[in-house]
Structure 1
């Protein structure tokens, strides 16, 4: 166990983020496939997605979904992503929120944190296209992590929210913001 901890401390931070990013984009890609009716055969796919309403292994994706899947596959190839699909779980803190999203986020290489939200309560939504459904919120003092690509001119971004000082995970969703982020301080 000690050797593993020492090795993890020696790995560059970008490698750690790349591994997390691979899990993130794998889940997004397969959530798209699940919604289109794909029947999962791997233990991981069956553990994370509901095969009760699947239609087969050969599915038709709409053009927007196909473009998103192709883009994710290119990211996975670029980063050499390899997910062990013999597992039965993934460590994705916002998985419950991701399941209800209408518009799915794409993980980016960098990340940025707002340490101490200073604005009023701000709603988080299930997508960035109408109709918007509130699924969470950012409240004053929260820490907000930005690690997904912005859309619609960068004004919409998918965020995860934590209790202050990177405490427990709290919420997630799409946020609309046009001004400078109201943060006590920033990291990243």
Structure 2
């Protein structure tokens, strides 16, 4: 019985690292795609915009910082993405299309299961001034926290959307259960 539990724990940990690796790779390369990078890999070509303009894009300070952080995450977890393939299992694909300010993954995750507070609007960037709504956290949602906070805001996901919210807008006591 102990062997089965240890094996299950190892498989669980391995799949978590794999998901972290795929999400880090996706976010890092999404920043390059948005900067006009022309991908040479099969995977990059399959996932990102076919219109490109450069093999040497210039990233803004925010995106460069995010790319550097994801490179460190990938290195520390021994990530190896098959860029010769055409499929990536990242849950972020499609959720980041409307996000202006890309988030940085954290090494830690938590989740609010069964949100029971007032609706919370998620936005494309930090604050409301230069951003727009990307979704709403509503009663019953599961809210995932797995990104670094910045400037009083945190990036969150639900099963159907993602975006920035004011830090603490989803409190532990507004969850039926909190894990993490």
Q: How far apart in 1 are the matches of 2:48 and 2:137?
A: 28
Residues 47-126 of structure 1 aligned to structure 2 (within 5 Å): 47-52=46-51, 54-126=52-124
Q: How far apart in 2 are the matches of 1:176 and 1:85?
A: 36
TM-score, structure 2 as length reference: 0.86
Of 100-109 and 170-179, deviating more is: 170-179
Instruction: Report the alpha carbon displacement of residue 123 of structure 1 after superposing the two structures with TM.
Output: 0.8
Residues 145, 64 of structure 1: CA spacing in aligned structure 2 closer, same or farther, 3 A cutoff? closer
Q: How many residues align?
A: 173
Q: How far apart in 1 are the matches of 2:71 and 2:165?
A: 26
Instruction: Report the alpha carbon displacement of residue 187 of structure 1 after superposing the two structures with TM.
Output: 1.2
Instruction: Report the alpha carbon displacement of residue 55 of structure 1 after superposing the two structures with TM.
Output: 1.4
1:14 aligns with 2:13: yes
Other-structure match for 1:40: 39
Contact 2:156 2:165 in 1 (8 A): yes
Instruction: Report the alpha carbon displacement of residue 59 of structure 1 after superposing the two structures with TM.
Output: 2.0
Other-structure match for 1:164: none
Instruction: Report the alpha carbon displacement of residue 92 of structure 1 after superposing the two structures with TM.
Output: 2.5
Q: Considering only aligned residues, what root-mean-square deviation do their CA atoms show, in Å? A: 2.1
Other-structure match for 2:24: 25
CA-to-aligned-CA distance 1:109-129 (integer Å, 9 cap, x gap)? 221111111111111111115
Question: Structure 1: 5+ residue runs without aligned partners?
Answer: 1-5, 162-168
Other-structure match for 2:157: 160
Contact 1:116 1:184 in 2 (8 A): yes
Instruction: Report the alpha carbon displacement of residue 135 of structure 1 after superposing the two structures with TM.
Output: 0.9
Other-structure match for 1:133: 132
